[in-house]
Amino acid sequence: MKHAILAIVVCSFFIAGCGADKDLTGQREVENGTRLIGVTDDDGSYEEHKDSNDFNTNQNPNFLDLTEERPDYGDDQEKFAEVITLNSDLEPGPVSITGDHARVTAYSNGSLSKEEKDKVERTLKRKFIDVMPRYRVHLTIKER
């Protein structure tokens, strides 16, 4: 008798589960998942929506950042050169970034005394820390 009641209860659960006719897909998923999230065009294209808030190419952290404005090391190198140009009479040289170390070279047009060189180096290092705090800057000032 107990086995018959248990069998009826289990069968009723199976029948109740198969009888659900609800659409369980997400609110933004349409056409059985064939359209991208955030796309509102009928043709399914996403070119027009790159600048909108709905279009997000970084939905999966395992994928690379696909936006065209993504920062890279070139932006940081340009920022170091900009700091040198704006805060001293030196000309920016090559910048090498390895991990959290940035090796920055600056060139002087004339000869600098030891005191002037130290003063310019302290000033630039303070500015580098203000502008790019994530790097340990190794500044080299050379004469041309």
- Over residues 64-102, the pLDDT tens digits come to 666 666 667 788 899 999 999 999 999 999 999 998 999
Compute how many other C-beta atoms are within 10 angstroms of the C-beta atom of residue 84: 25
Is the domain of 30 the same as that of 54? yes
**Count of structural domains within the chain:** 2
Task: Write out the residue range of the structural domain in which residue 43 sits.
Answer: 24-70
Is the domain of 94 the same as that of 39? no
pLDDT of residue 109: 87
Q: Cα dist. 9→1, 17, 18, 21, 25 in Å?
A: 13, 12, 15, 21, 29
Distance of CA 114 to the CA centre of its chain: 41
Residue-wise pLDDT for 14-34, tens only, equals 777 665 555 554 555 555 555
pLDDT of residue 61: 61
